[in-house]
Amino acid sequence: MEKVKISSKQLFAIIVLFELGSSLVVGLGVSAGKDAWLAILLGWIGGMALLWVYGYIFRQYPNLPLTGYLQKIMGKYVGWIIGLIYTIYFIYLAARVLRDFGELLYISGYDLTPLIVINCLLIVTISYVLHKGFEVLARTGENLFIVIIMTGLTGILLVFFSGIVDIKNVLPILEKGWKPVFKAAFPVTFTFPFGEMVAFTMLFPYLNNKESVLKVSYRAMSLSAAILIFTTFLNLAAVGLNITSRSTFPLLMTVGKINIANFIQNVDFISIITLIIGGFFKVSILFYTAVMAAADLFKVEKKEKLVLPFSIIILLLSLQVANNLTEHFNEGMKVVPLYIHLPLQTGIPLLLVIVVWFRKRLNTV
């Protein structure tokens, strides 16, 4: 294990950036109609519960990452295989998010650049930063957190000043009842983005102050949920449900409507910067957890050596994941959450909790 220590503020920053990631710019929960923000709220509650599960296991083994305590709880061989599954899972997730990111950047401005080039640039940047170590990533996260907050505030201010916000677009609340909200929350908003916190179980042991892991994570998740809810609300109010639910990049539509005095207009780059920073963080954290997991499982000494081969794998995988954008979104909305996210984010950790609890029971008896 590296002697890397990150502070709680850094953990806070990178959790928020990770959660916001690409979810800030896509239409999260729009299948629930005008109540998309309610769906996110429910997803958040589920996410907090998940965090409690992760925290519980972490407290039993405060110095081990996920792959470590998997082996301890489930036995050496079974744990190792599950750890391998998680490694592949992280790689796959990183590739998916990279594809998301590349596609969004493509349609928002770079529509003649081949996708491989867009993705390759991001992977090269990430490899460089990860090469310097995780501490550098955490510190960069602290800095970019401030940048995103400021960009976000600027965007929100501009939207309000353009006078395009119309609360009537969001009323009535719950016009179709709770059913669509639940359908959207589970499994979609629950697993994306809140369930992806499972990646952080690999990173918790790095924290300086281990007791405050849960507190920091709760706060960070709440802040990111608040930002997501508010942004969805804003999108609905500014452009209306119709356009929001039908577009691939709703934040871009909202920002595109900003027009102050016919001078400040077309400030797309606010949403593009948000996308790039968020995407950068999400992919790099998933990338790093995959590297960490592999290093832990295969007992590799220097993690930096794994960075290069993994980057090529993730890059190529991101191009193979789907043939076109429709297929990619469908997979992401229907197939992946149910069959892949749920078992790995909720199923196995719950199993671990049960096993640990039983063992403790048996030990005391």
Partner 1 sequence: MKVRRCIVIFTVLLFVLTGCWNRRELSDLAIVSAFAVDKGTKENEYLVTFQIINPSENATGVASSGGKATPAFTVSETGTTIFEAIRKVSKKLSRQLFFAHIRLMVINEELAKEEGILELFDLFERSHEARLTSNVLIARGTDAKSIINMVTPLDNISGYVTVKKLEATEKVWSENIKVEVDDVINGIVSLGSSPVISGVRIDGDPKEGQKKSNLESTDVPAMLEISGIATFRGGKLVGWLDNGKAKGFMWVKNKMNSTIVRMDCKKKKGGVAIELTESKSSIKAEVHRKKTIFHVDIKEEGNVAEMNCPADLSKSEEIKKLEKSLAIETKKEVMSAINFAQKKKVDIFGFGEVINREDPKAWEKMKKNWNADFSKAEVKVKVEAYIRRPGMIMKPYIKEVPKLQD
Partner 2 sequence: MTRRWGRYSFEKDKKETEKELPFGDRPFVSADINKNLKRIKQDIGNSPDMTVREFQINELRVIAVYSDSLVDIDVVNNFIKQALTMEKGQSNDENNVFDIIKKNARASQEVKVIREWDEILLSILTGDTALLIDGFAHAITGSTKGGEQRSIAEPTTQTVVRGPKDCFTESIATNISLVRRRISSPNLWLETMRIGEETQTTVGIMYMKGIVTDGLIQEVKERLNRIKIDMILDSGQIEEFIEDQPSSPFPTVYNTERPDSVAANLMEGRIAILVNGSPFALVVPTLFVQFFQSPDDYYYRFHIAIFLRLLRYISFLISLVGPSVYIAAITFHQEMIPTTLLISIAASREGVPFPAFVEALIMEVAFELMREAGIRMPRAVGQAVSIVGALVLGQAAVQAGIVSSIMVIIVAITGIASFTTPAYNLAISARLLRFVLMILAATFGFYGITLGLIIIIAHLNSLRSFGIPYLAPLSPLIPSDQKDGMLRFPLWSMFKRPRLINQNNTIRENGNLQPSPKQNGGESKREE
3-class DSSP assignment, residue 259: strand
Which one, of 328, 335, 344, lies nearest residue 98 by Cα? 328
Binders of partner 1 among 104-133, rule CB under 8 A?
107-114, 117, 120, 124
Alpha-carbon Rg for the chain, nearest whole angstrom, is: 20
Partner touching 154 among partner 2, partner 1, none, CB below 5 to 8 Å by kind: none
Q: How far is CA 194 from the centre of its chain?
A: 7
Partner touching 243 among partner 2, partner 1, none, CB below 5 to 8 Å by kind: partner 1
Partner touching 81 among partner 2, partner 1, none, CB below 5 to 8 Å by kind: none
Residue 111 or 301 having the CB closest to partner 2: 111
- C-alpha atoms less than 13 angstroms from C-alpha of 224 in its C-beta half-sphere: 31
79, 151, 354 from 338: Cα distances, Å? 23, 34, 22
Size of the chain, expressed as the number of residues it contains: 365
Would you count residue 133 as binding partner 2 (CB under 8 A)? yes
Partner touching 142 among partner 1, partner 2, none, CB below 5 to 8 Å by kind: partner 2
DSSP state of 180: H
Residue 239 or 270 having the CB closest to partner 2: 270
Q: Would you give the binding string for partner 1 spanning residues 155-194, x where CB under 8 A is met?
A: -------------x--xx--xx------------------
Would you count residue 264 as binding partner 2 (CB under 8 A)? yes
User: How far is the C-alpha of 249 from the C-alpha of 123, rounded, in Å?
Assistant: 22
How many other CB atoms are found less than 10 A from the CB of residue 350?
Answer: 14
Would you count residue 272 as binding partner 1 (CB under 8 A)? no
- The residue ranges that bind partner 1 (CB under 8 A) are 107-114, 117, 120, 124, 168, 171-172, 175-176, 239-240, 242-243, 246-247, 252-253, 256-257, 259, 265-266, 308
